[in-house]
Amino acid sequence: METPPQLTDGRLFSSWQADVPALLVVVVLGGLYGWGVLRLRRRGEAWPVARTAAFAVLGLGTIVVATMSALAVYDRVLFWPAAVQNVLLDLIAPLGLALGDPLRLALRALPERAAARAQATLTGRLVRLLTFPLVSTALVLATELTIYFTPYFETALADNWLHQLMYLHLLLAGSLFVLPVLTREEALPAWCTHPVRAGLVFVDGIIDAVPGIVVMTHGTLIAGSWYLSHSPSWAPDIQHDQQLGGGAMVSIAELVALPFLLAILVQWARTERAETVALDRRLDEELEVVRATPAEATAAEKTASTEGPDLVRPWWETENSEVAQRIRGQR
């Protein structure tokens, strides 16, 4: 393995290398997303530009930076670029992909039968289990700890295909938690309301910092034999290098938690606004019935009595929607 030149500020931004498997993943994901957006536009349906930008720039762009920038050029001679690389794939790239809401886009863009099969897959037992918030959070934590505290990471440094598999492993593990939480599709249990999701994101932000803290404070070197034999003369002390990597992992994990939580809060506010509009519309309809002329009211009552006793009762007493439950609770 050829030792790269000394890492400077300039080379940190100018050093790039091609990663064909990662590039194929980016092209396939970007192509499928773009096909979905174009299909909706041809049907006259709009798709938010902000979601497309989040998917392309924050999601796919982060994958490119993690696998092809200076982080990938120097990850086999320095630990901290590898640590930053892994946390980008595990936390930031899934967040960007999820903000693009690819699940909803797929279900809207696919033909009816294909969309039904995709919906059945998303609501299947296996996917429900893997995306259950506590399970997916545990999988993310287990992935990070397994990579750094088993031979997984050191073996991946020596085997390029295992290294590529590790990239995919990190991306999938992070996506299992983020995608269901941020999508507008019903991919989570009914009890996972927006307040619950905000709490889960807060807890997940704390848990995501655990691997970095453990790496930063761990006495034994991570992949120590590899870095001891491949460390160039210009590299810092290996123990210091590991502490830098652990500190970067903690910092990025905590920085990601804030925009993730803000995204949940924005969704929560939009949902509340939509429910308020629906409630106002229903109340206006009820007022129109009350203001009807006596003849119209009598006719409406006779029609309701012939159709069934439940229709005489107000809609909020017969429906099980969240808005109706809220009105019943207030009364």
Instruction: Write out pLDDT tens, residues 114-159.
Output: 888 888 888 888 888 888 888 888 898 899 889 998 999 999 999 9
* C-beta separation of 6 from 234 below 8 A: yes
Cβ-Cβ contacts under 8 Å for 112 (sequence gap 6 or more): none
Specify the pLDDT at position 276. 76
Specify the pLDDT at position 324. 62
Length of the chain: 331
% of residues, the chain, pLDDT over 70:
86
Give the C-alpha separation, 163 to 122, whole Å: 28
Average pLDDT (313-327) is 62
The helix (run of H) or strand (run of E) holding residue 330 is: helix 322-330
% of residues, the chain, pLDDT over 90:
40
Give the C-alpha separation, 158 to 137, whole Å: 29
Here the tokens at position 14 are 């100018």
Specify the pLDDT at position 314. 62
CA distances from 114 to 79, 105, 118, 173, 176 (A): 44, 13, 6, 25, 22
Specify the pLDDT at position 79. 93
Q: Is the pLDDT of residue 191 over 90?
A: no
Specify the pLDDT at position 158. 92
Here the tokens at position 321 are 């929607």
Give the C-alpha separation, 185 to 190, whole Å: 12
